[in-house]
Structures are given as structure tokens and as C-alpha cells.
Structure 1
Amino acid sequence: MHDLVQEMGWNIIRSEFLDNPGKWSRLWDPSDVYRAFTMKKGMKNVEAIFLNLSRSKQLQFSTKVFAKMKRLRLLKIYGMDCCGFMKKEYKIILSEDFQFPSQELRYLHWKGYPLKSLPSNFHGENLIVLNMMDSKIKQLWQGNKCLGKLKFLNLLGSKQLTEISNFSNMPNLEELELGYCTSLNIVDPSIGVLKKLTLLSLSGCENLTSLPSSIQYLDSLETIYLNNCSNLEKFLEIEESSMEALTYLHFDRSAIKELPSAIEYLLEDLQLFVCSNLDAFPEIMEDMKEFLDLRTGIKELPSSMEHLNINSLFLSDCKNLRSLLSSIRRFKSFCRLFLNGCSSLRNFPEIMEGMKYLEVLGLEGTAIKELPSSIQNLKSLQMLYLSNCKNLVTIPDSINDLRCLKRLILPGCSNLEKFPKNLEGLCTLVELDLSHCNLMEGSIPTDIWGLYSLCTLNLSGNHMVSIPSGITQLCRLRLLDISHCKMLQEIPELSSSLPQIDAHGCTKLEMLSSPSSLLCPFLKWFKWFNPTSNEYMNRNWKKGKVIIIPGNGGIPGWVLHQEIGSQVRIELPLNWYELG
């Protein structure tokens, strides 16, 4: 509504001063900006220009016109195509002697600025925001400029930028964004004068090999981004009393080899995702909290990690990690622990009662053979991921004590021989995935009916001859996947509430000489699908029921109704839901 009122009011103003845009204080319609620059008169009242280049034609900016804008405070030029690139036909033509307007300019945002530097006579005394993302700037300015009020400098993606020679002329800078300035190979040591700087981003500066030591004297610096700095091998040597405000340090996909020991006193959030050169980690004090991402090449964890007060630890894809600290079991604040892809990890330590807050445990792709029986101490565990743990042989019966467990994910555990008995303890389980576990007849206990909260059951790719009869009592089940169970010969009567079954690739079912053993369960299942009954309306079944039983050899010959194509239409008798 606010935008509509604003647009209506703006249209009234435009119609009144259509032939004299110089009387406007703001220009944001591309046609108005174009008219103003072509008329070259009456520009003294303009305070703000918003120009969306994706809606405008080619335009030549005249220094003479800008010179008349004595009151201009805000200039924003932006606009990209659907792929994020500036369209050629939207270019702004600038003369070599181009100059920016008045000294009153506070906000300058020019995405894709086309010149190699700001004009030599650029006035920035009152500038607060300078945003030149994806610009062609090679050197920000020539000589010394006084930008005493500048707080935000953004040159993200300015790939030709080679240097910013002097930071001492912007003492109030708070945020410096130099991410993906791929030609930048040095940060000027004068950056140490920026005592108010809180954020420094150098992500993607692939030619950057070192950082100036003066950075450690930035007392207000809270966040440093060094992600994807593929040639940066070493961070600063930090004095214990310096950088006390530093909280977030991100090295994801960098070439970092070691971290300073003093880092233990600083951080709340440290990310080292895919730092394959890092094989050692410093001792950690309990000051580090909340979040620790060590998806790196580390071989072992420091013993002091037990003092951490973090709630999330990411160790995914640490392929050299062979064991966990026994002290990890005493972590009291953990909510999430991810060890996915730690392919050398063979054992999981005994679990003490201290890990009672752990909610998510990811062990996918590890080399563990079994879980400790003490897993029952994870009283808050809701999600347990064990996909592709090909050495896993058994799941302890004590897992039945996990009364909060909602998801148990085990696909690809091809050596799993034992599944827990007495499943009624897992009364909150919503999803159970046992696909491609090579389970044989009788591997799944008959008391699977005890999983009365189960909504999704995936048994695809196993070797059962029949499905445990207890599945028919799972009244909340919404998806049963038994696809590619090539030994399966029999399907029991199905729960009336089950809306979807996937049985494709069950070749033994396709080869049945008589359809009765296959169709009778489905006919009884269909009996419940009566769109005229009150029970149907109460269950709100809008999409009906789905059976998927295609085979490699086409539709079995005993199916009477066959058509070429992807659909077949059959007229059913009026009492079809009473059959069976």
C-alpha cells in the first residue's frame, strides 16, 4: 500500500513538472533521468538520483550537467540482467574528464563503474557510503583524499583492483569489503589505523599471500573473512592482548597451514571448511563458544577441546581423522556433531551422560563397525545419520531407549547383520531408511508395528522374500518404498491409511503366474478409498492413492488393460471400492 501511494503521488508530481525535471528533488524513473541529462538545465534542486540500468537505454553522463547539481547527496546506479551481468546496451558513456558532482554527496552506489579510478578532483569529504561492486577500478583514487566521514567501503568483485594505497584518510571506516578482488595481492599496512573497523572481507582474493601485521592492532575488528584465499598459507601472529573484539574468523577453502596459538582466547565462530593444508589445530580454551567448523585435513583434535562451550561441531570430510578424543563424551553443551565423510574414523567413543543435549549426530560414510551400547545416554537425540557406513555390522539394542529419536537413516550399510529387537521403544520415530542394507528374510523384527509414529519406511534394494506382517499395523505410514527388492514374492494386506507404495523393480512380483497374490492386497487396500464416504472426507485425502510397480520387461501380460504411452484409462464399476 505504501508503494502504491508513493507511486500515485510521484505520478502526480511528474505530470505537473514533466517538462521541467530540474524542479524535482529526486529522479528515479529512467526516462526522467534521461530527460534531465538531455535538457541540461534546471538541475540545481536535484538531491537524489536512482537509475536502474536494466530499465533504461544508453545514456551519456555529462560533467557539465553534474556540475549544476550543487545539492546532490545520493547517487545510486544499479541494475543487472537475469544472469547477474550488466547488459551492453545499458552502458553509461563517460568522458575521460568526467567529474562527480557536489561536495554534498553522502551516498555513492555505482555497480559496474566503468572507469579505472575515481576522478582526480573527486570530493568525498561528506561521503558515508562508497559502494562500487563489480567495478573496473584498478586504483581507487590518485593522491590523497580526505574521506573523514566514510564508514562503508565496498569494492566486491572489482577484479582489476591492485591496491588501496592509503587507509589513513578514512579513519572512521567500519566495514571494508574487498572480496573477490582477484588482482589484489597486498593489503597496505596503513590498514592498522582503522581503529573503528569491525568487518574485513578478503574472501576470494586468490593472489593474496600474506596479511600485514598491523591488522592485529584493530581493536574493534569482530569479523574476518578469508574464504577461498587459495594462496594464503599463514595467518597473523597475534599477541595475547590484541584483537580482543575478534569473534568470527572464516578460512573456508583457504591454503592456511597453521593458526596462531593465541587464537584460543578470541573466537566464538571459527570456520575451516576444506582447509586441506591444515593438519594441526592449536589448543583451545573455553572462551571459544557456539560454533566450530573444522571440515579440514586435521588428523587429531587437541585435548583441550573438552573445555569448549560450543553447541555445534563440524568435522565432516576430515579423511585423516582416525579417532575422537575420549573427552568428547563429556561435552555438555553439544547440540549437533557432524562427522560425515570421516572415512578413517573406525570407533565412536563411549558416551557419558554429559552429552544429554545432543540432538543431531552425523556419522555418514565413516568406517565405524558398531555404535557403543552407551548410545542410550543421548537422551535428546532426534536424528541419527549412518548412510554408507559399509563396515557397520550391528545396531545396539540400547537404541530403543532413545525416546526422542525421529529419524534413523541407514541406507547403504551393506554389512548390517543385526537390527534391534523390541522396537516399541522408538515410539517417536518418523522416518526409517534401511534401503540397500542387504537385509535378508527375518532381519526386520515382526514387532515393527511398535513404531506407531512412523510415516516413511524405505526398504528398497534388500533381499526379503516377504514383508513383515507388522507393517500392516503402521496406521500413520504414508510412504512404503520396497522398490528393487528382487527376491520379494509376497505383499501383505496393507494399511488403509497408506497413500503411496513404490514397488518398481521387484522382478519376482512381475514374474508371478497368477495376479491374485499381488492384486488381492491392493484390492482390499483400494476398498478404503471411497471418495463419497465421511471417513474419506475426514482424512482429507485429496490426491488419492499411488502404486508404482513398473518393470524392466513392461507391464505383465496378465494385466488386461494395456495401452501404448504413459497412461491407461479404465472404466471401473460403480461398486469398485467394495470389491475384494
Structure 2
Amino acid sequence: MNKTLILSADAFLKMKRLRLLKVLCCSNCYDFTYLSNELRLLKWTGYPLKSLPSNFQPENLVALLLSYSNIEQLWKEKIPLYKLKVLNLKGSENLIKAPDLTTAPNLEILVLKGCTRLVDVHPSVGNLSSLVLLNLKDCRNLVSVPGSIGGCKSLKSLNLSGCYKVEYLPENLQQLEFLKELDLSKTALRKPPSFISQLKNLQALSFNGSKAIQRGRTNSMPSMLPSLLGLSSLQMLDLCDCNLFNIPSDICCLYSLKELDLSGNNFTSIPSSLFNLVYLGLSSCKELKSLPELSKVHNSVGWSTFIGIHCYRLAENIDALTLLKKHLKVFGNSGKMFDFILPGSEIPEWFSQQRGDSSIKIDLPLEVWNDNQWMGVAFCCIFVSDDASRVEELVLRAVSGLSNFKGRNPREFMRVIWTFPPGEPVMKDHIFISYFSRDEKYRNSWTTDWLDQECDELELSFVRGFALDSVKVKKCGVRLVYERDLEEMEQIQELHSSQCCENFEDIQQHSADDGSIGNGSLIKRKRNIYEEMDEGPQPKRIL
């Protein structure tokens, strides 16, 4: 039911026993002076006043969510807040004084993301022994992190990304033995923290654009990264735009590493061990010339992703069909799904079904479900993106036609979502290829439909995402992949390789103006389970 509620001071006065209150962007409540002292949850996006009502006693509050509020100071006196567990002031740009949390010892989540006038964090944060998440992202005027932070013994996630004035970190951060996520992107750190290797439980680490690593770097200087050898639990590492000329050898010893983003650096090659990752970002690595041979080290099932946007030198030495062939030979029958992006303006002839549009539909042979030679399905498209001012998305949607006694019943069985961060345009043609294995299909939640009903049609479409994107898909192609196709690919590759240099000359000509090329990568949408407590679910990579 859709209802409009006109809030007034009188309306609040009648709500003596109100325990849950959610208000979304109501900006006309400037005259109210009362909130129920029974409130357990107060969520008011765009709260219009500079402070909470003076007579409000929030002793029963468990969650206080005031995103994008006009709050300047929450409270001036110490108020008992022993039940408070979540405090979110995200985007409250007028907040000039961080709250004193001395009387909130049970606080678990503190989000001050985007509080751009905030200069410091109250030292009482060090007394929060139950604090799990501290998010200070984009607090661009924050000067320092309180030295007391070492007292947050339960802290699992610390985000300082975009804190441009933070030059030093307290050494007692090494005491945070349960820390799992540490984001030091775009800070002013004068040197990389030496204690990083002591964070044994760290799973995600980001130095994206770190000045501490960039400072004074040249091709002849050694890596400025701290030792990573002790990070046996590390699964995600972001070293984008760190001016690296060589990949530190420590990375190859991170055996738990699944996602690595090296976009915007200056190395010319990468070690073969890095191809055992689920995700490898190499966009705008303009000096990169070659990729190592793939090797099947383990049989884990999942996505294997390589992103090479703006890697024009690499495209001169390896084309999309060659990379697809290598992946199929190594991973084709292992149940792995993989996808990759490279510069390119033509769909390889091997894709037997092609169309100059953003969608394509093919008939499925009736015997395909019982054919042991059938390996999976390969999709591709040629796309560009001409708007760098907002988040954009490229969404691959696959639908099967299921025939039953009621007629056709189309069912979506796969959706892949890629996001373009603002300021990272893809102005020149790129080719996106995705392979969906047969084995993965049988593990899908639609197993009953696939096996018990007759699927006679497959439709592939690149559709608009959740964002108002400007990604344009020029053409697309699809092919059912059989084991015999690997031999055919060898023959087509010989012909295709002779055309590769000619196609690359066209690509290189279009990309001659470096000013039109972004320096970032196309990255998967991620969700920090702690960070955005007041937002709805984000799209997943596969649904």
C-alpha cells in the first residue's frame, strides 16, 4: 500500500510508545520537538535539523541511522547509550564534531562515511571493545586516526579510503588481531604501514592510489610495498594506480588470494601464478605486452575473470579468440566459468551466431542435453561507454525457453553484472567474452527445469542495469561449445591471426589520443556486509 504521511509536531506528540520509526527524505519537519523515548530504531534519511530534540532520551535506542542528515552535533552531554549497537551518519556533511561514545560501550557499527567537515574522531572510540566496523571513507578533512584505536579489540573492518589528509597511522593498529578488511586507498600516508604483515587474519587489503607507494617511484627503484608474506588469510588485494613497474614477488606467495586488481600500473608482464585467481584486474596497464601460459593448478569451481580494458599493447600480441581457446583447453571441462575483456572491434568468426544488436536468440538442438560432447555456451559482445560522469553497468542476461503443456515458459538462468566507476570511460571498442560451462548449469538452482523439461531456445541479451547507464552494445554473438570445437578453433585461429595486426592498427589509431583513455578498471560490484546497513540488496554477479 502506498500512503502519504504528513508529519508534524503534534503527530509525534501522540506517539508515546513508538519503538520503530523510518522516515525517508522528509524535509518539512522543522518544527517538531518530540521523539518517543521508547524508540529502539530511528532511521531518518535526510534528517533536517542540526541536532536531536533536546528532551529526547535515547536510552533504549539500538540503531540510530541518520544518513545524509543536517546534524552538526548529535548531543552535547553524555547520555546513557548502553543499548546502542549501530550508529550511521553517512553523508552528514554538516557534522563538525564527532560524537562522544563513552557511554555507548556496546556499539558494534560506526559509519561516518562522507562526513566531509569532520576533522577528528573522538578518542572514546578506543573504548569500544565490541566495535566490529569503523567506516571513515571520504572524510576528506580528517587529519588523524585516534591513537586509542588499538583498544578496539573486536574490530574487523576499517575503511580510511579517501581520507586525503591522513598522513600517519597509529602503530598500535597491529593489536587488531581480528581485523579482516583494511582500506587505505587514496590517503596521504607518508610510508606504508610496517605492521601490515602482522595482521594474520586480514582478508581484504587496498592501497589503491596510495601516495605512500607512489612517492618517488621510478623503474629502477624497488617496491615500496610493505612485506605481505605474513598475510596467509588474504583473499583480496587492490594495488590500482600505485605506479608499480614490477609485481612484488610477495604476491605470488599469497596462496589464499582470490581477487587481485593491478590496474593502472606500469609493468610489462605478469607471473603465471597470478592466473590461478578468481579475478585479475589489469585495466589501463598500458605497458603490459604479454600474458603467461595458463596452468590448471586446482579444480575449484567458480568465476575466472581477466579484465584488460585499454591494454592496447597486449591486444597487439594476443587476441580474444586465442585467449578463449586457452581457457577452454585448461578449464573447459572443469566446471569453471570465465570471462574477459580486451580491446577489439570484431567478433571472431568462430561465434557461429552473430547479430548487429544487443540481443540474439538461437534454437537449441533437442539432443543437446544428452550429448556428452557438449561443454557449455560462449557469449560475446562489442561495446563502448561514452559517459564518465556516473556509474554505468553492462548486464548480460541469459534466458532459456522451456516447453511444457502450458506452452513456452522462458526462464532466466544467468545474469552477469559489470560496473564502470565514474570517471573511467571506455570510449573505444572492446570485446567482452563469457563462457558458461555445462557443469555449472547443472549446479544452478534451475536444475529441475533444465533436466525435466524440454529447453528449445536460448536468448542472450545485454540489458540496462540498475544504473542509468550509457553503455552501448554494438553487436553480439553466441555459440554452443563442443569438445570438437577446440580442434576447429585451431584452424580458425591461423586465419584470424593473420588479420589480428590489421585490426589492431585500427584500434591503435582510435586510441592515439591518451586523453580519451581512462586509467581505471571495470570491476565487479561488491558489497561490504557491514558498511551499508541502511541500503537495500545490491545486484549479484550471478542470480
Change (3 A) 1:457 1:147: closer
Query: CA–CA distance in 2 between the matches of 1:457 and 1:127?
Result: 52
1:297 and 2:242 are equivalent in the alignment: yes
After superposition, residues 311-350 of structure 1 pair within 5 angstroms as 311-324=257-270, 326=271, 329-330=272-273, 334-349=277-292
Distance change >3 Å, CA 301–CA 355, structure 1 → 2: farther
Which one has more relative contact order, counting CA pairs under 8 Å at least 6 apart? Answer: 2
| Deviation string, structure 1 residues 113-136 (Cα, Å, up to 9, x no partner) | 222222344322222222222221
> Contact 2:123/2:147 (CA < 8 Å) preserved in 1?
yes
AA partner of residue 132 (structure 2): T
**Contact kept? 1:256, 1:277, Cα under 8 Å:** yes
Secondary structure of 1:55's aligned partner: coil
The answer (yes or no) to whether the contact 1:62–1:94 under 8 Å persists in 2 is no
8 Å contact from structure 1 (residues 338, 363) kept in 2: yes
**Structure with larger Rg:** 1
Aligned equivalents of 1:291, 1:402: Cα separation in 2? 24
Cα deviations by residue, 1:298-330 (Å, 9 ceiling, x for unpaired): 413332222213343333422333443x4xx34
Residues 344-388 of structure 1 show CA distances to partners (whole Å, capped at 9, x for unaligned) of 22344566664776833334433656xxxxxxxxxxxxxxxxxxx
8 A contact 1:178–1:201 mirrored in 2: yes
1:60 aligns with 2:8: yes
Match of 2:310 in 1: 365
Counterpart code for 2:4: R
Give, in whole Å, the separation in 2 of the partners of 1:366 and 1:225.
30
Check if 1:226 corresponds to 2:160.
Answer: yes
Compared with structure 1, are the counterparts of its residues 238 and 541 closer, same or farther at alpha carbon in structure 2 (3 Å cutoff)?
A: closer
1:213 alignment partner AA = G
Task: Structure 1: state its 5+ residue gaps.
Answer: 1-6, 8-51, 81-85, 370-388, 424-428, 434-449, 461-536, 549-580
Percent identity over paired residues: 28
1:182 aligns with 2:128: no
Deviation at 1:193, TM superposition (A): 0.5
Q: Of 11, 23, 39, which aligns to 1:78?
A: 23
Structure-1 residue corresponding to 2:332: 404
Question: How far is the alpha carbon of 1:108 from its aligned partner?
Answer: 2.5
Count of residue pairs brought into register by the alignment: 355
Aligned to 1:270: 205
**Equivalent in 7, 21, 29 of residue 92 of structure 1:** 29
C-alpha distance in structure 2 between counterparts of 1:542 and 1:431, whole Å: 11
Report the secondary structure of 1:176's partner residue.
strand
Question: Do the aligned partners of residues 184 and 454 (structure 1) sit closer, same or farther apart at CA in structure 2, a change above 3 Å counting?
Answer: closer
Q: Which residue of 2 aligns with 1:149?
A: 83
**Structure with greater proportional strand content:** 2
Deviation at 1:61, TM superposition (A): 0.5
- What does residue 504 of structure 2 align with? none
| Pair 1:245 & 2:173 matched | no
Matching of residues 34-45 of structure 1 within 5 Å: none
2:158 and 2:374 mapped to 1: Cα distance? 48
Aligned in 2, Cα 1:60/1:350: closer, same or farther, shift over 3 Å?
A: closer
**Whole-Å separation in 2 of the counterparts to 1:409 and 1:107:** 44
Q: 2-side partners of 1:541 and 1:221: how far apart?
A: 47
Partner Cα separation in structure 1 for residue 379 and residue 290 of structure 2: 29
The amino acid across from 1:318 in the alignment is G
Deviation readout 1:4-35 (Å, 9 max, x if unpaired): xxx8xxxxxxxxxxxxxxxxxxxxxxxxxxxx
Instruction: After TM superposition, give the deviation of residue 402 of structure 1 in Å.
Output: 3.7
Q: Aligned with 1:215: secondary structure?
A: helix
Q: Secondary structure of the residue that 1:305 maps to in structure 2?
A: helix
Task: Give the Cα separation in 2 of the matches to 1:111 and 1:129.
Answer: 13
Question: SS at the partner of 1:309?
Answer: coil
Instruction: Please tell me whether residue 390 in structure 1 is matched to residue 316 in structure 2.
Output: yes
Once the two structures are TM-superposed, the CA of residue 244 in structure 1 deviates from its matched residue by: 0.8
Structure 2: any 5+ residue segments left out of the alignment? 215-223, 356-372, 384-453, 461-474, 476-543
CA separation of 1:431/1:255 partners in 2, compared to 1, >3 Å: closer, same or farther? Answer: farther
Alpha-carbon distance, 1:540 to partner? 6.0
CA gap of 1:237–1:345, structure 2 versus 1, over 3 A, is: farther
CA distance in 2, matches of 1:272, 1:137: 31
Contact conserved, 2:240 with 2:265, CA < 8 A, in 1?
Answer: no
Supply the AA of the counterpart residue of 1:289: L
Structure 1 residues 276 and 320, CA gap change in structure 2 (3 angstroms): farther
Given the alignment, which residue of 227, 231, 234 partners 1:283?
Answer: 227
| TM-score, structure 2 as length reference | 0.55
Q: Deviation at 1:177?
A: 1.3
| TM-score for both structures, normalised by structure 1 | 0.51
Q: Give the superposition deviation at 1:249.
A: 1.8
Contact 1:309 1:332 in 2 (8 A): no
Determine the C-alpha separation between the residues in 1 that align with 2:457 and 2:101. Answer: 66
Q: Offset of 1:431 from its aligned partner?
A: 9.3
1:123–1:301 distance in 2 versus 1, CA, 3 Å: same
